Amino acid sequence: MPSVAIAEGNEVRPPNLFGWDRLDLASALAAFADRPYYAAQVYHHMYGRLETDFQAMTDLPTALRRELAERFRVDWPRVKDVRSSTDGSKKYLMALEDGGEIESVYILYGARVTLCVSSQIGCALACRFCLTGTMGLVRNLSPGEILGQIAVMARDHALAGTSYRVVFMGMGEPLHNYDPVMRAFRVMVDAKGFGLSPRRVTLSTAGLAPGIDKLAREKPRPRLAISLGAAHDTLRSELVPINRKYDLEALIGACRRFPLGPREKITFEYCLIDGVNDGEQDARRLARLTRGFPAKVNVIPYNEAGVPGFRTPAADGAQRFRDALLARGVAATIRWSKGRDVGAACGQLATRVAAG
Instruction: Write out the residue limits of the CATH 3.20.20.70 domain(s) in the chain.
Output: 78-342
Residues with active-site annotation: 103, 346
pTM (2 decimals)? 0.92
E strands within the chain? 6-8, 11-13, 78-84, 90-95, 101-109, 112-116, 120-122, 137-140, 165-168, 201-205, 223-227, 266-272, 295-301, 331-334
The domain made up of 7-71 has a fold known as DNA polymerase; domain 1 (1.10.150)
* Alpha-carbon gap, residue 45 to 2, rounded angstroms: 18
Query: What averages of pLDDT result for each successive group of 10 residues across the chain (356 residues)?
Result: 54 90 93 89 97 96 95 97 91 95 92 94 91 88 98 95 93 97 98 96 97 97 96 97 97 97 95 95 97 95 80 94 97 80 56 46
| Whether domain 78-342 has CATH 2.40.420.20 | no
3-class DSSP state for residue 336? coil
Instruction: Write out the residue limits of the CATH 1.10.150.530 domain(s) in the chain.
Output: 7-71
Q: Does a cis peptide bond (omega within 30 degrees of 0) precede residue 220?
A: yes
- Report the amino acid identity of residue 88: G
pLDDT at 43: 97
pLDDT at 80: 95
